[in-house]
Amino acid sequence: MRKYLLSTSALAGAALLSSAAIADVTISGYSEFSYAQSDHNIAANDGNLMGLDQEVHISFSNKLDNGMTVSAKNEFSTHDGAGDDTFMTISGGFGSLTLGNTDAVSSSMDMNPSDLVQEEVGGTLNKGTAANTGTATIGTDTGTGGANTTKLTYMLPAIGNLTAGISAGTQGTLAGTDDLTAFGARYTLDAGGAAVTLGYATKTTEGASVDTDISSVGVKVAMNDLTIMVANSTKEASGEDVSTQSAGVSYKVSDAMTLNFSTVTSEDDIDTGEEYDANHYEAVYTIASGLTAVVNVSDWDYTKGSTSNNTGAADYNGTTTKLTLKASF
């Protein structure tokens, strides 16, 4: 990604006005335009759709006299005027402390094969009510989810090949009924020339009556141009006992072309018969530095099951073909 760095030398004039340290400022961003064609069993979801995702990222970094580093990041979704990750980080020999709106540590430490695919489409899943709204409670990948809410995350300094951290935060209510805690760890090793990474993550979100617990465990093996990942996750919540398995493969054919594939299977032991299956096929082609084209084909099949928790849901299945042009700056 091309970045524009405003160093202290570029701000020399301002330095004359203040003895305080001046931070390095990095400005970057991206723009993604997509066109998707969906073949869906629900008529309201069957058709074509164009989309735009565009963001500007502004980062600050300042090295303190005591050796610590203070940095801050601001991400703005310029296509809809919304904010995204906004946080500050204090790092040093003690590790790092991140404060603000960003994902919990579980999101960066879990093993989620869906991450090998850039533009997967999971289909529109229905929890009930109107035909196009809501999502089914079944899992659609083996990640632990993001939740860009206000929280703090502490990352331990690396202990050999082990990295680990913990997050705590609030989701937005004063009553304390939706507080979040998360933990994640990764361990890397070399096995016959292959880089092997083991990952474990868990996240608990408090509920008014029942907490939501999500955990994920998986392994990634990278050797030369081939990367393979497998993972399993569980989710326990009110009316839910979901188990999800997924696997993914990424192969770099050349400097310009990469092929990706992932598959996911999920079922709820409480909602008898509720199942979700999806496969994602993808080709990523680098047109030039900073410009990439992605072609993705996703097919999915969701069965609502027969118990009372999903009485208003609908069975969904279909295939979406999506072309995305990505420009980074």
Contacts of 257 by beta carbon, 8 Å cutoff, 6+ apart = 283, 284, 285, 286
Q: For 65, what's the count of Cα atoms within 13 Å in the CB-facing half-sphere?
A: 3
Whether 6 has a pLDDT exceeding 80, the answer reads no
User: Per-residue pLDDT averaged across 16-23, rounded?
Assistant: 51
User: Per-residue pLDDT averaged across 146-154, rounded?
Assistant: 81
* pLDDT range class, residue 322, cuts 50, 70, 90: very high
Q: How do residues 68-77 score in pLDDT, each as one tens digit? A: 999 999 998 8
Whether 96 has a pLDDT exceeding 70, the answer reads yes
Classify residue 306 by burial, with Cβ atoms within 10 Å: 0-12, 13-18, 19+.
exposed
Average pLDDT, whole number, for the chain? 84
Whether 202 has a pLDDT exceeding 90, the answer reads yes
Q: What pLDDT, on a 0 to 100 scale, did the predictor assign at position 249? A: 98
Q: What pLDDT, on a 0 to 100 scale, did the predictor assign at position 265? A: 94
User: Per-residue pLDDT averaged across 157-163, rounded?
Assistant: 94
User: Per-residue pLDDT averaged across 146-155, rounded?
Assistant: 83
Between 81 and 160, residue with greater pLDDT:
160
* pLDDT range class, residue 312, cuts 50, 70, 90: low
Question: CATH fold of 4-328, please?
Answer: Porin (2.40.160)
Q: How do residues 205-222 score in pLDDT, each as one tens digit? A: 888 788 889 999 999 999
* pLDDT range class, residue 173, cuts 50, 70, 90: low
Q: DSSP string spanning 33-73?
A: EEEEEEEESSGGG-EEEEEEEEEEEEEEEEE-TTS-EEEEE
Whether 155 has a pLDDT exceeding 60, the answer reads yes
| Alpha-carbon gap, residue 34 to 312, rounded angstroms | 32
Q: Which residues of 283-292 are buried (b: 16+ CB within 10 A; e: fewer)?
A: ebeeeeeeeb
Q: What pLDDT, on a 0 to 100 scale, did the predictor assign at position 137? A: 60
